[in-house]
Every structure is written in structure tokens, then in C-alpha cells.
């Protein structure tokens, strides 16, 4: 699976959009981009995934660049409950063998 | 739906003792995953099962670790003998075909080996 690079930490003001970047320059054509988050003391939670088109669900939006070498997870109106570690994972999707990196710690501040 | 259930939530044991962690996946899910999380190594996949059959155990640290899934609704992760370096949070997760990547995690078991 392709390696991902994320900033270790980010801050965001409550009510503002949180934009979390991820670089995956070695992604293969059949690999998807997945995002999970882990709130303190809980298990990780699936957020969203995409292949090449932008995706949106009730939790977030995923923007993937045209060359697929990077992506951005957008939380449109961050709340204090969105404070968590966010993991970007690249995987072919045919198995469940996900490799979690160190992720980005997002701190939403009042 | 009850979600993934793990027990115990906390376990404190002495070095050399046997430890058994338990997991009940979400009903209808056919894949089950065991992860370990530490500050130093992050979240690591230990083993995963598909339709009760172990598919990949390459993440299991050593022979002291074993996992079983006797039926679709129950799995165990056993450590025998336990060592202080096994102290970690152990998560169980489950998913269903055709979305093996959409995993639902349990609350975890915090293991402390003294």
C-alpha cells in the first residue's frame, strides 16, 4: 500500500471549516483514499473514502486532486467534538488490511 | 445495533500470566480484526479473519500471541505468557463484504502487565 504523509497537528476554531491534508504521491491506480478518526479513548471511526472523484457524506467531504497524489478532508463546521486524531490511509480496498500511520491531531478550539 | 463488544474493558495482570481478550462482532459482519495500540508503535493490525478463517496473521508479534474465531459471533486473543511490553490497548473491529475497509471498532481493552 502507498505511504501517506500528514501534518502531526492542526488547530481549528469552532464553527470554522477544518481542512486536513494528506499526501500520497505513490498511490496506485486501483488504490482508494480512506479517512478514519479516533476520538480520545475510543476506537477509530470510519469517515469517508474515495477513488478519484470528490465525495461528501453527512460527516465530511473528501477532495482528491486530479493527479491523485494528495487529498483533503474537510469538516465544514468543526465542533469541539471533532477534536481527534485523523488518519489518512491508502488501500486497494479488496481486503480489510488497513495500515494506520501517525495521523493528524486536530484540536478544535472555542 | 449493539456495536462491537469487547471484554474485559480493563485488565491488570502480572508478568507470566495468561490473558484472554474477548470480542463479539456486529451481527452479520463476516470479517473480524484485532489491533494493538501503543504510544510508541501506534495502531497495528495483529490478525484478521474472514468467515471465521484467519487470513493474515503477519502482525502477530510472536508465538505467545494466538487468536481464534470458533464461530461468527465470537473471537478471542490470548497472550501466554504475558510480558510488560504487551501493555497496550487492544481493539477488535468488524466489517462486512463488500466493504471490508469500513470497519467498526469496539471500545478496546486496556491491558496492563506488571
> Does A102 touch chain B if contact means CB atoms closer than 8 Å?
yes
Residues B78 and B90 sit within 8 Å (Cβ to Cβ) = no
pLDDT for residue A53: 86
Distance from CA of B51 to the nearest CA of A (A): 13
User: Model confidence over A24-49: pLDDT tens digits?
Assistant: 999 998 899 999 999 998 999 999 99
Cβ–Cβ below 8 Å for B45 and A101 = no
Q: CB-CB: which of B4, B42, B102 is closest to A46?
A: B102
Element containing residue B45 per DSSP (H, E): strand B42-50
Determine the Cα–Cα distance for residues A107 and A95; give it in Å rounded to an integer: 32
3-state secondary structure of B39: coil
Determine the Cα–Cα distance for residues B111 and A6; give it in Å rounded to an integer: 29
Confidence band of B79 (pLDDT split at 50, 70, 90) = very high
The rounded percent of chain B whose pLDDT value lies above 70 is: 99
Residue B88 has pLDDT above 70, yes or no: yes
pLDDT for residue B97: 77
Residues B34 and B106 sit within 8 Å (Cβ to Cβ) = no
* Closest C-alpha to A14, from A68, A77, A73, A74: A77
User: Model confidence over B25-56: pLDDT tens digits?
Assistant: 999 999 999 999 999 999 999 999 999 999 99
User: Model confidence over A60-106: pLDDT tens digits?
Assistant: 999 999 999 999 999 999 999 999 999 999 988 677 788 899 999 99
Cβ–Cβ below 8 Å for A95 and B100 = yes
Determine the Cα–Cα distance for residues B71 and A106; give it in Å rounded to an integer: 39
Sheet of B65-71, strands arranged across: B5-7, B19-24, B74-79, B65-71
Q: Which residue on chain B is closest to A91 by alpha carbon?
A: B101
Determine the Cα–Cα distance for residues A98 and B59; give it in Å rounded to an integer: 12
Confidence band of B101 (pLDDT split at 50, 70, 90) = confident
> Does A34 touch chain B if contact means CB atoms closer than 8 Å?
yes
pLDDT for residue A92: 81
pLDDT for residue B2: 82
Q: Which residues in chain B have Cβ-Cβ distances shorter than 8 Å to A49?
A: 101-102
Report the sign of the C-alpha dihedral through residues B45, A86, B4, B83, in that order: positive
Q: Which residues in chain B have Cβ-Cβ distances shorter than 8 Å to A43?
A: 4, 91, 93, 105-108
3-state secondary structure of A87: strand
Q: CB-CB: which of A42, A96, A101 is closest to B107?
A: A42
> Does A8 touch chain B if contact means CB atoms closer than 8 Å?
no
Lowest mean pLDDT among A13-17, B38-42, B85-89: B38-42
Confidence band of A59 (pLDDT split at 50, 70, 90) = very high
Amino acid at each position: 500500500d502507498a505511504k501517506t504523509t500528514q501534518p502531526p497537528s492542526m488547530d481549528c476554531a469552532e464553527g470554522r471549516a477544518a481542512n486536513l491534508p494528506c499526501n500520497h504521491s505513490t498511490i496506485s491506480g486501483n488504490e482508494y483514499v480512506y479517512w478514519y478518526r479516533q476520538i480520545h479513548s475510543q476506537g477509530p471511526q470510519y469517515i469517508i473514502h474515495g477513488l478519484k472523484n470528490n465525495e461528501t457524506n453527512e460527516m465530511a467531504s473528501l477532495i482528491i486532486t486530479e493527479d491523485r497524489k494528495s487529498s483533503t478532508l474537510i469538516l465544514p463546521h468543526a465542533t469541539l467534538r471533532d477534536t481527534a486524531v485523523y488518519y489518512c490511509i491508502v488501500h486497494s480496498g479488496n481486503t480489510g488490511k488497513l495500515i494506520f500511520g501517525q495521523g493528524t491531531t486536530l484540536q478544535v478550539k472555542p | 445495533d449493539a456495536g462491537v463488544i469487547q471484554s474485559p474493558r480493563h485488565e491488570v495482570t502480572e508478568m507470566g500470566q495468561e490473558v484472554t481478550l474477548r470480542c463479539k462482532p456486529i451481527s452479520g459482519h463476516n470479517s473480524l480484526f484485532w489491533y494493538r495500540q501503543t504510544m510508541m508503535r501506534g495502531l497495528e493490525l495483529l490478525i484478521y479473519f474472514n468467515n471465521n478463517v484467519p487470513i493474515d496473521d503477519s502482525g502477530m508479534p510472536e508465538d505467545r500471541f494466538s487468536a481464534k474465531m470458533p464461530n461468527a459471533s465470537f473471537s478471542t486473543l490470548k497472550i501466554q505468557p504475558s510480558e510488560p511490553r504487551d501493555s497496550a490497548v487492544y481493539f477488535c473491529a468488524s466489517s462486512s463484504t463488500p466493504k471490508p475497509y469500513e470497519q467498526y471498532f469496539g471500545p478496546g481493552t486496556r491491558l496492563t502487565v506488571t
